[in-house]
Structure 1
């Protein structure tokens, strides 16, 4: 993996984490925690959605969109585990 693509993935994950924290109010982990969840969500979205047949596309906006969905799903699942 090149440095530029790693940096782009971190940037997309940070934005997705911030957005997912806004969407899932009350289930977040603070700014830094949500950014980390966003980075993990971006990675999950990059592996799960193509396996399901969804194309991430080539633009930054579609990458942020799919990473945000992945981060929201991850926050939801973490919230379920924390309650149990």
Structure 2
């Protein structure tokens, strides 16, 4: 059951990060990947500062922050579009 919970948190975190960073999600699979990688990245970043997320809300916040950082880093690798 906890594995399913982590997947749901990852999907939701990826969707929220997509809304914050670009104004829209990327689809279920990409949101899941972004949320899971964001959770790992967020956990690592929080660990650097000595912060430990507690409970589902803490895991969700960590995943969202990590996913936002991930999307921000990816935005530097995309070619600039002329307007």
TM-score of the two chains, using structure 2 as the length reference: 0.78
Aligned to 1:78: 74
Give aligned pairs, total.
Answer: 79
Give the root-mean-square deviation of aligned CA atoms: 2.0
Q: Deviations over 1:39-70 (max 9, x none)?
A: 1101222233123211211x211211111000
| Structure number, greater radius of gyration | 2
1:4-83 matches, within 5 Å, as 4-25=1-22, 30-31=26-27, 32-57=29-54, 59-83=55-79
Structure 1: tracts of 5 or more residues without a match:
none
TM-score of the two chains, using structure 1 as the length reference: 0.77
Structure 2: tracts of 5 or more residues without a match:
none
